[in-house]
């Protein structure tokens, strides 16, 4: 019998930032990670569900290693995952990546500029390596 | 409720990253915040009700709030009521589109045509609700027929929030949301500190803060003392 899908994947939770470009970058990085780079290894869960305390979302973060991607220093995603009983194995902020790539200044909230999309891609690629490492270790542990 | 600041409607979108309808909520909210009603609206990220401080959690008690959800789970409406205050209005995209016979949006990352139409319709409905909760009936809400308000800074509450003052109550530090604005309002009315004012101040503070009934007398005196101190500070300027 196969296990439920959520037992295999790393859970990815971006912040729900709506007021700043950095929030949009966090969301775009999460989509690139879950849809393009690690579609079979990473699963996106909406932060709003955890704020509500929805059962399936809480179970997902309780049962799986979780990666959070926050747009600003308030670190909503990381804090809410911990409050929900989850384990954050990788806690990233857009600001931290931007500091290393100052040529990629994100602009636009509804629609990111080209630099913002590139910044999201850089971030997603960095996190993808972590996701693959986590899943490899998980599989090794089960072997 | 005391009128503490230029009244704005709060908009809280679920912004669900899993569903195209969540993207619709976010983009429609942004359209209202940036283009349709920039001077009348403010927003906050839903997770700040859990991850933020008292000032963030006071959002829906401070602003008449409209929540916008993508699906029947109603995360924004329920979480806002649970952590902040009861929303004045709750909208659900899936219900709104079904009632109008519109197609289900697709593409959580990049909306399809149906999704883009949904954003336009939801933004118009939202703008109309903003006008209603602010008592500005009759203003055209449409994005097509009316001039948008002059563009202003999109108002996000993150990091600015509602002012909070820490008072010592019965030897414990206690955060009181919106106290600076309450004091300012009474100062501007030229009120002098006395027992009548103390009761009025307490009533105003209770709108935004939970005050244990058995401690009301202590709070009343502490707030009155803070008011007297604020008068002195103003006079010294």
Best CA proximity match to B68, nearest among B102, B30, B103:
B30
Q: Please indicate whether, in this complex, the C-beta atoms of A48 and B83 are within 8 angstroms of each other.
A: no
In a domain, A142, yes or no: no
Nearest to B22 among A45, A46, A109 (CB): A46
In a domain, A141, yes or no: no
Q: Would you place residue B6 in the very low, low, confident or very high pLDDT band (cuts 50, 70, 90)?
A: low
- pLDDT > 70: percent of chain B: 86
* Residue range B41-84, pLDDT digits in tens: 999 999 999 898 878 888 898 889 999 999 999 999 999 999 99
- pLDDT > 90: percent of chain B: 62
* Residue range B82-138, pLDDT digits in tens: 999 999 999 999 999 999 999 999 999 999 999 999 999 999 999 999 999 998 865
Chain B positions in Cβ-Cβ contact with residue A48 (cut-off 8 Å)? 14-16, 22, 46-47, 75-76, 79
Number of folded domains that form chain A: 1
Secondary structure E strands in B170-228: 172-177
A48 close to B (CB below 8 A): yes
Architecture in CATH for domain B9-133? 3-Layer(aba) Sandwich (3.40)
Chain B positions in Cβ-Cβ contact with residue A80 (cut-off 8 Å)? 47, 50-51
**How high is the pLDDT of residue B160?**
47
Chain B positions in Cβ-Cβ contact with residue A15 (cut-off 8 Å)? 45, 47
CA distance B165 to A83: 26
Secondary structure E strands in chain A: 10-14, 42-44, 65-70, 87-93
In a domain, A140, yes or no: no
**How high is the pLDDT of residue B68?**
98
pLDDT at B143 over 90: no
**How high is the pLDDT of residue B171?**
87
* Residue range A17-27, pLDDT digits in tens: 888 899 999 99
**Dihedral angle of Cα B76, B80, B86, B91, to the nearest 10 degrees:** -10
CA–CA distances in Å: residue B64 to residues A112, B129, B212? 30, 11, 24
Lowest mean pLDDT among A7-11, A36-40, B151-155, B185-189: B151-155
**How high is the pLDDT of residue A8?**
56
**How high is the pLDDT of residue A137?**
85
Determine how many CB atoms are found less than 10 A away from the CB of residue B183: 23
A91 close to B (CB below 8 A): no
Range(s) of the domain holding residue A17: 5-133
A5 close to B (CB below 8 A): no
CATH code at position A128: 3.40.50
**Which chain A residues in 18-37 lie under 8 Å from chain B, judged by CB atoms?**
18-20, 23, 27-28, 30-31, 35
**How high is the pLDDT of residue A128?**
97
In a domain, A138, yes or no: no
Q: Please indicate whether, in this complex, the C-beta atoms of A83 and B47 are within 8 angstroms of each other.
A: no
**Rounded to the nearest 5 degrees, what angle is found at the Cα of B25, between the Cα atoms of B20 and B27?**
90
Question: How far B113 CA lies from chain A's nearest CA (Å)?
Answer: 16
Chain A positions in Cβ-Cβ contact with residue B157 (cut-off 8 Å)? 19
**How high is the pLDDT of residue B3?**
53
Low-confidence ranges of chain A (pLDDT < 50): 1-7, 143
Q: Please indicate whether, in this complex, the C-beta atoms of A46 and B16 are within 8 angstroms of each other.
A: yes
In a domain, A139, yes or no: no
In a domain, A79, yes or no: yes
Give ipTM to 2 decimals: 0.90
Residues of chain B with CATH 3.40.50: 9-133
């Amino acid at each position: 019998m196969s296990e439920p899908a959520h037992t295999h994947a790393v859970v990815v939770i971006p912040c729900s930032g709506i007021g700043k470009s950095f929030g949009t970058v966090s969301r775009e990085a999460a989509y690139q990670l879950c849809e393009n780079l690690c579609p079979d290894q990473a699963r996106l869960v909406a932060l709003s569900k955890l704020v509500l305390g929805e059962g399936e979302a809480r179970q997902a973060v309780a049962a799986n290693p979780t990666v959070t991607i926050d747009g600003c220093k308030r670190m909503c995603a990381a804090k809410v995952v911990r409050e929900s009983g989850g384990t954050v194995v990788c806690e990233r902020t857009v600001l931290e990546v931007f500091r290393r790539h100052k040529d990629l200044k994100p602009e636009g909230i509804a629609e990111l500029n080209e630099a913002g999309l590139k910044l999201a891609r850089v971030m997603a690629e960095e996190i993808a390596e972590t996701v693959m490492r986590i899943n490899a270790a998980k599989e090794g542990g089960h072997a | 409720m005391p009128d503490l600041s230029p009244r704005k409607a709060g908009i809280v979108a679920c912004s669900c990253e899993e569903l195209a309808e969540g993207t619709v909520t976010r983009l429609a909210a942004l359209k209202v915040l940036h283009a349709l009603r920039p001077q009348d609206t403010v927003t906050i990220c839903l997770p700040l009700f859990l991850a933020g401080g008292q000032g963030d959690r006071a959002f829906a008690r401070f602003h008449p709030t409209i929540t916008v959800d993508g699906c029947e789970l109603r995360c924004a409406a329920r979480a806002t009521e649970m952590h902040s205050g009861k929303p004045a209005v709750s909208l659900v995209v899936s219900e709104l589109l079904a009632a109008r016979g519109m197609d289900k949006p697709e593409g959580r990352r990049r909306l399809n045509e149906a999704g883009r139409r949904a954003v336009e319709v939801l933004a118009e409905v939202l703008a109309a609700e903003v006008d209603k909760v602010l008592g500005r009936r009759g203003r055209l809400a449409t994005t097509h027929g009316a001039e948008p308000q002059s563009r202003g800074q999109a108002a996000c509450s993150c990091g600015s929030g509602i002012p909070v003052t820490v008072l010592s109550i019965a030897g414990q530090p206690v955060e009181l949301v919106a106290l600076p604005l309450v004091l300012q309002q009474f100062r501007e009315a030229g009120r002098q500190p006395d027992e009548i004012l103390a009761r009025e101040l307490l009533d105003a503070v209770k709108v935004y803060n939970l005050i244990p009934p058995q401690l009301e007398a202590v709070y009343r005196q502490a707030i009155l003392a803070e008011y007297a101190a604020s008068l002195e500070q103003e006079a010294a300027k």
